[in-house]
A and B are shown apart, each in its own frame.
Chain A
Amino acid sequence: DAGVIQSPRHEVTEMGQEVTLRCKPISGHNSLFWYRQTMMRGLELLIYFNNNVPIDDSGMPEDRFSAKMPNASFSTLKIQPSEPRDSAVYFCASSLWGADYYSNQPQHFGDGTRLSIL
């Protein structure tokens, strides 16, 4: 079975440019999470969706960051304008969100997008 698929794997761009990261969750999963990983702060949640609806975006750093999930099989994370401090690895994860332990499934991660803003 295909796991979580992220693209691009690497992105290098100049400060001020728009960056769009993409994610395809595991088929059948109804929740999707965007995380950012840095050496200083570890893995931090940015935003998550349930059934394509944003539930918690309290981790989004500022208005330069936006995320969408137009359908169950696709999500984007956009940074506009990008800044050097946005350089990090961005992970997408998906899971099945159920009512109890037996219907809940843990989060499965993609291999991330390594973003460098010059």
Chain B
Amino acid sequence: QKEVEQDPGPLSVPEGAIVSLNCTYSNSAFQYFMWYRQYSRKGPELLMYTYSSGNKEDGRFTAQVDKSSKYISLFIRDSQPSDSATYLCAMRVDTGRRALTFGSGTRLQVQP
């Protein structure tokens, strides 16, 4: 079993829809949680960065972390065709090893 699980999709939604992307994880030591967006032939671009549990909002994006359930989510409101990309969740522990553990990525397509 992978340390971080993410549904690969593809997820296809109409423009304007609310998108929900999710990851589950098994390592209770993870404290930092990130969402990256990756367009084709580009590097991952940081979208959201949170520490421990709770919600964080930035424009149309909301990140939620539920450490009790080992579950994180990214919500995209009023989705746009330009949101079409692969979304990767990533996480790491608080101290010690600083490397990120990534999910496999969910491919999102927003249809105009």
What residues of chain A have their CB less than 8 Å away from a CB belonging to chain B?
A: 4, 31, 33, 42-43, 45, 48, 50, 55-56, 59, 91, 93, 95, 97, 101, 104, 106-112, 114
Contact = CB atoms under 8 A, between A and B. Distances in A.
A112 B46 contact: no
Majority secondary structure of chain B interface residues (helix, strand, loop or mixed): loop
Interface string B32-44: 1010100001111
Contact of B44 (A43, A55, A95): A43
B98 A31 contact: yes
A42 B44 contact: no
A48 to B, nearest CB: 6
For the complex of A and B, list the 8 residue pairs with the smallest distance between their C-beta atoms, beginning with the closest: A109-B43, A43-B102, A45-B99, A101-B51, A106-B49, A111-B43, A42-B104, A109-B44
B67 to A, nearest CB: 15
